[in-house]
Structure 1
């Protein structure tokens, strides 16, 4: 497959009154053309900051990319001037934000908002841009596009507004689409429709997709690979099956355990104990150690490297060291994995 994006040793920090927040700390990943990579983790894990860095949207000040490279088609986006990024943003790389109401201008028709990108990047005239806007609304499943193109955001439901935002992102046929929590504010029925829409669009355009979410359950039927983030780092990465059916990092165990069971038999939901660390003063060793019931002495002293499980599966946990004691995932996690496998077979 053709490599579309490569992120190398990315560090992003923000200056605050309390000190420097080390929001992203040495992130590495790749994305192939036509592939979907899901980045999952709790709020504050660095997912959205990573996505904004890819778009060149880190406000400076107070934020800055301290180190690393973002190679898109071989070009390092971190080295480009803002004027050059404006030629890439929206045209080559586009983003779907979490809340459509913050992405849409209430004083403009949705058609004019879609047409902005077409006229800027594609140099279309008014008539061609208007026709293309109607085509895009139809593509994302909005009925009566010839009428809806002249309506305003408040005349659309939440799910339809999110479809408009997707249409705007797709307007210039980007090769990389970043979806930052695109279904969080939607009910489960609309959520499923939006996810199915994104899969369908990817088949038609062969775009690479980075899907940002805190909900592992959302990515099961969307992603090809999953990267699990915690405290500004990727702690495990693998195919969907490897992450769901053979997880190795205790944090991934906790995320899986906190998902509702497929059969709805949970009496109560599991919650990972404790809270994420203060990234003004990142902890020594494994950042998850304080919340990890399986933590060993070394976890509090030395940060674990990425251990290779397979050619596609890596995890940063000392449990994978050859000299580590053989600790299996807790029974709760093993039961959840068995439930998911059974549900997958039955589905």
Structure 2
């Protein structure tokens, strides 16, 4: 299948007073047409920087594109000028940010903010743009859309403002939608409504989605495939079933074990010990080694290669080396493996 988006060996740094922060260190992933890819990891893992790099929203300086390629629908994006990217942003790639008030101008009515997108990217006449904007407000589930068209952002609740932002992102019918933690600022009930809304819209318009999140519960609801990020690198990728039922990287085990569940009441929640490394001076070897109870001597000396577990499942860990000792993952992993006993496969080295 031809990839709509393909990121190859992307490396991005930021110049700071303390030194050069190596925020993204050789990241590669792809998104197919109509697919949802979730990128998951702790704060500071590089999720948002990766998504902003696709849109070329990283200011230069302090940001530096060190190496790599970003191929979107046959176009190489890194080499494009800001003027060229303006034709792609919003038109071919839409973005939904975490806080809707950072995307909405509080002094302009929401209808006008949506029609501005249609004027710029679709060259619509005024009446046609208004009709389309009202149609979009209805699509994202805003009641009395005709009246709401003439209201200001402060007249909407947080969930309704996020629906407006989604309508704006969809206005130009983008091929790819990047959602950067779009439900984090919302309560659980509204979060569920927004996630369901995005799934329904994706089915209707067949857009691809990159969903940035730290919440594995959201991943389970939204994604077709998952990329797990740690310290500026992707350490594991696979389908949702592979990540939840057959994870192979200790960091993924830690994320799954730290998920609260309905039977967690009265129990101590599991946490990953330690903190992410300082990316001004990334650690030698496996960046997760200092926090991992499964770390071996080689983890502190040499960066692990990439192993292939299945056609869709790839893992960057020395634990998959044929000579590595057998380890027992946390109970949350082994119990899920028992639910899918035929899913377990042996890895093959694909990249030294």
Same fold (TM over 0.5): yes
Compute the displacement of 1:265 (Å). 4.3
Q: Deviations over 1:114-158 (max 9, x none)?
A: 111100010011111111110000000000000001000000000
SS in 2 for 1:274: coil
Compute the displacement of 1:337 (Å). 6.4
SS in 2 for 1:49: helix
Q: Distance in 2 between matches of 1:16 and 1:276?
A: 18
Q: Compared with structure 1, are the counterparts of its residues 266 and 177 closer, same or farther at alpha carbon in structure 2 (3 Å cutoff)? A: farther
Query: What is residue 102 of structure 2 aligned with on the other side?
Result: 102
Contact preservation (8 Å) 2:245, 2:333: no
Contact preservation (8 Å) 2:257, 2:330: no
Query: What is residue 277 of structure 2 aligned with on the other side?
Result: 277
SS in 2 for 1:151: coil
Compute the displacement of 1:328 (Å). 2.3
Q: Which residues in structure 2 correspond to 1:41-60 (within 5 Å)?
A: 41-60=41-60
Compute the displacement of 1:262 (Å). 4.2
Contact preservation (8 Å) 2:39, 2:47: yes
Q: Distance in 1 between matches of 2:224 and 2:74?
A: 23
Q: Distance in 2 between matches of 1:48 and 1:202?
A: 21
SS in 1 for 2:222: coil
SS in 2 for 1:221: helix
Query: What is residue 220 of structure 2 aligned with on the other side?
Result: 220
Compute the displacement of 1:217 (Å). 1.3
Query: What is residue 180 of structure 2 aligned with on the other side?
Result: 180
Q: Distance in 2 between matches of 1:222 and 1:43?
A: 20
1:129 is the counterpart of 2:129: yes
Q: Deviations over 1:41-88 (max 9, x none)?
A: 000000000000001100111112111100001111001111110000
Contact preservation (8 Å) 1:261, 1:336: no
SS in 2 for 1:234: strand
1:255 is the counterpart of 2:255: yes
Give unmatched runs, 5+ long, in structure 2.
342-352
1:211 is the counterpart of 2:179: no
Query: What is residue 28 of structure 1 aligned with on the other side?
Result: 28
Query: What is residue 345 of structure 1 aligned with on the other side?
Result: none
Q: Distance in 1 between matches of 2:320 and 2:262?
A: 29
Contact preservation (8 Å) 2:247, 2:333: no
Query: What is residue 293 of structure 2 aligned with on the other side?
Result: 293
Number of residue-to-residue matches in the alignment: 341
Normalising by structure 1, report the TM-score.
0.96
Query: What is residue 344 of structure 1 aligned with on the other side?
Result: none
SS in 2 for 1:78: coil
Query: What is residue 239 of structure 2 aligned with on the other side?
Result: 239
Q: Distance in 1 between matches of 2:187 and 2:215?
A: 14
Q: Compared with structure 1, are the counterparts of its residues 25 and 300 closer, same or farther at alpha carbon in structure 2 (3 Å cutoff)? A: same
Compute the displacement of 1:335 (Å). 4.3
Contact preservation (8 Å) 1:36, 1:208: yes
Q: C-alpha root-mean-square deviation of aligned residues, in Å?
A: 1.5
Compute the displacement of 1:331 (Å). 2.9
Q: Distance in 2 between matches of 1:323 and 1:340?
A: 26
Q: Deviations over 1:291-329 (max 9, x none)?
A: 000000000000001111111101101000011111121
Q: Compared with structure 1, are the counterparts of its residues 298 and 159 closer, same or farther at alpha carbon in structure 2 (3 Å cutoff)? A: same
Contact preservation (8 Å) 2:121, 2:172: yes
Contact preservation (8 Å) 1:260, 1:266: no
Q: Deviations over 1:182-238 (max 9, x none)?
A: 000111111111111111111111111000001111110110000000000000000
Contact preservation (8 Å) 2:136, 2:171: yes
Contact preservation (8 Å) 2:228, 2:235: yes
Query: What is residue 165 of structure 1 aligned with on the other side?
Result: 165
Compute the displacement of 1:340 (Å). 11
